[in-house]
Amino acid sequence: MFHKSVFKDETKLDINYVPPRLPHREKERRLLMEFFNFLLHFPERMTQRVIITGDVGTGKTALARRFGADITLEANKKSLKFRFIHINCREYRGKLFFVLQHALTVFRPTFPSRGYSTEEVLRTLMQILDEEDAYVILTLDEFDTLIEKEGSETVYSLTRLQEMRAGKPQRISLLCILRDLRAVEKLDASARSTLQRNVINLERYDKLQLKTILSERVAMAFEPNVVGEDVVDLVTELAVSESGNARFAIELLWRAGKYADAENMDEVEPECVREAVSSIIPTLRKSELSSLGRHEKLFLLGAVRIFKDCQKGYASLSDVEKAYTVVCEEYGEKPNSHTQLWNYVQLLSALGILKTEVASIGTRGRSTRISLPAVPATQLEKELTTALERDE
Q: What is the pLDDT of residues 311-321, one digit of tens each?
A: 778 899 999 99
CB atoms within 10 A of CB 106: 16
Residue 107, Cβ density class (10 Å: 0-12 exposed, 13-18 middle, ≥19 buried): middle
CATH code of the domain covering residue 272: 1.10.8.60
Q: Between these two residues, 269 and 279, which has the higher pLDDT value?
A: 269
Rounded-to-integer distance, Cα 150 and Cα 138, Å: 17
Identify the pLDDT of residue 188.
Answer: 86
Distance of CA 300 to the CA centre of its chain: 31
Task: Determine which of 73-77, 129-133, 160-164 has the lowest per-residue pLDDT on average.
Answer: 160-164
Identify the pLDDT of residue 368.
Answer: 85
Mark whether 87 and 188 lie in a shared domain: yes
CATH code of the domain covering residue 137: 3.40.50.300
Mark whether 211 and 133 lie in a shared domain: no
Amino acid identity of residue 151, one-letter, is G
Q: Is residue 38 part of a domain?
A: yes
Mark whether 264 and 372 lie in a shared domain: no
Mark whether 190 and 231 lie in a shared domain: no
Mark whether 46 and 126 lie in a shared domain: yes
Contacts of 135 (CB under 8 A, 6+ apart): 39, 43, 44, 80, 81, 82, 83, 129, 171, 172, 173
Q: Is residue 45 part of a domain?
A: yes
Residue 19 has pLDDT above 80, yes or no: yes
Rounded-to-integer distance, Cα 148 and Cα 129, Å: 29
Q: Is residue 21 part of a domain?
A: no
Mark whether 106 and 237 lie in a shared domain: no
Q: Which of 235, 263, 280 is the last residue of a domain?
A: 280
What is the count of structural domains for the chain? 3
Identify the pLDDT of residue 289.
Answer: 79
Mark whether 140 and 82 lie in a shared domain: yes
Q: Which long-range contacts (CB under 8 A, 24 or more apart) does 287-291 make?
A: 288/351, 288/353, 289/383, 289/384, 289/387, 290/387
What b-and-e string marks burial along 195-218, b requiring 16 or more CB atoms within 10 Å of the CB?
Answer: bbebebebebbeeebbbebbeebb
Mark whether 234 and 104 lie in a shared domain: no
Q: Is residue 2 part of a domain?
A: no
Rounded-to-integer distance, Cα 60 and Cα 178, Å: 8
Mean pLDDT, to the nearest integer, of 40-62?
94
Q: Between these two residues, 88 and 358, which has the higher pLDDT value?
A: 88
Range of the domain at 211: 205-280
Rounded-to-integer distance, Cα 48 and Cα 33, Å: 11
Q: Which of 280, 304, 325 is the last residue of a domain?
A: 280
Mark whether 190 and 293 lie in a shared domain: no
Q: Is residue 232 part of a domain?
A: yes
Q: What percent of the chain is modeled with pLDDT above 90?
A: 66
Q: What is the mean pLDDT of the chain?
A: 90
pLDDT band at 191 (very low <50, low <70, confident <90, very high): confident
Mark whether 186 and 115 lie in a shared domain: yes
Q: Is residue 14 part of a domain?
A: no
Identify the pLDDT of residue 2.
Answer: 63
R_g of the chain computed on alpha carbons: 27
Rounded-to-integer distance, Cα 248 and Cα 242, Å: 8
Q: Is residue 5 part of a domain?
A: no
Mark whether 378 and 336 lie in a shared domain: yes
Q: Which of 202, 236, 268 is the last residue of a domain?
A: 202
Cα 167–Cα 78–Cα 163 angle in degrees, nearest 5: 20
Mark whether 52 and 172 lie in a shared domain: yes
CATH code of the domain covering residue 304: 1.10.10.10
Rounded-to-integer distance, Cα 265 and Cα 4, Å: 9
345-359 per-position pLDDT tens digit: 998 988 888 988 876
CB atoms within 10 A of CB 54: 21
Mean pLDDT, to the nearest integer, of 163-188?
88
Q: Is residue 10 part of a domain?
A: no
